[in-house]
Structure 1
């Protein structure tokens, strides 16, 4: 499945718990995260091995992204929603606060993603960084 934003075929597929489905595109239960531009797209549930619990390898996104799902999933959902901060303000706030509660500084991760030459986020993180800081503090 090609990324809707950049056309890349490299993605991480993961299931979402109920608490995150409202933040996913089309309220998807399964999402794919593009390893090139970090765009989140709904994915087919058959693309996840339901026979066993396997955590996605979030390190494929970037060394900057946390590898634990409780940190990585809300972070990538928040980044994806940053295409429209005005529309998604409360959702982004909730997701970034969740990342912080899980023990990761989301702004530090965003700074590191901005500096990562292998990642070209579909969202302009340079412009959004200040707005995200205002949401959190």
Structure 2
């Protein structure tokens, strides 16, 4: 599967129950673009999600799914603030630093998102204090 926005490969994942309430579309599975970080509905994946195709800094398992949804919602912090806070708190509770992941995505040359990730990271830092 490729991204409808930029034609890059997508990373499909099943939405965990703990994350489902924060997904804008009621979908049991989603996919995150490995280049532009777009979040799109997806058919169920056939195996475990390969979040390392997006970044080696990406969490694995349910924390990775929560991080993927959170990153996919960064296009509108104003609309998705509560969901992003909850998702990133879930990631943090599972032993990962979501702000560090966003920071690494911002510095990764293969990520080409229309969002200014450096600026968004700063906003997230203030939001999560």
TM-score normalised to structure 1 length: 0.84
1:3 matched to 2:3? The reply is yes
SS of the counterpart of 2:89? helix
Structure 2 counterpart of 1:61: 54
Q: Report whether the alignment pairs 1:44 with 2:36.
A: no
- Aligned residue pairs: how many? 129
Structure 1: segments with no counterpart, 5+ residues: none
Structure 1 residues 69 and 122: CA distance shift in structure 2, 3 A: farther
Q: Who is 1:115 aligned against?
A: 107
Q: Equivalents in 2 of 1:38, 1:90: separation in Å?
A: 19
Bigger mean CA offset, 82-91 vs 23-32: 23-32
Deviation by residue 1:92-131 (Cα, 9 ceiling, x = unmatched): 1000111110111111111111111111234321221111
Which of these two proteins has the greater Rg computed from alpha carbons? 1
TM-score norm. by structure 2 comes to: 0.89
Matched, 1:71 2:63: yes
For 1:17, the equivalent position in structure 2 comes to: 16
Residues of 2 paired with 1:99 and 1:122: CA distance? 24
User: Are the equivalent residues in 1 in contact too, given 2:13–2:31 (CA < 8 A)?
Assistant: yes
- RMSD between aligned alpha carbons? 1.6
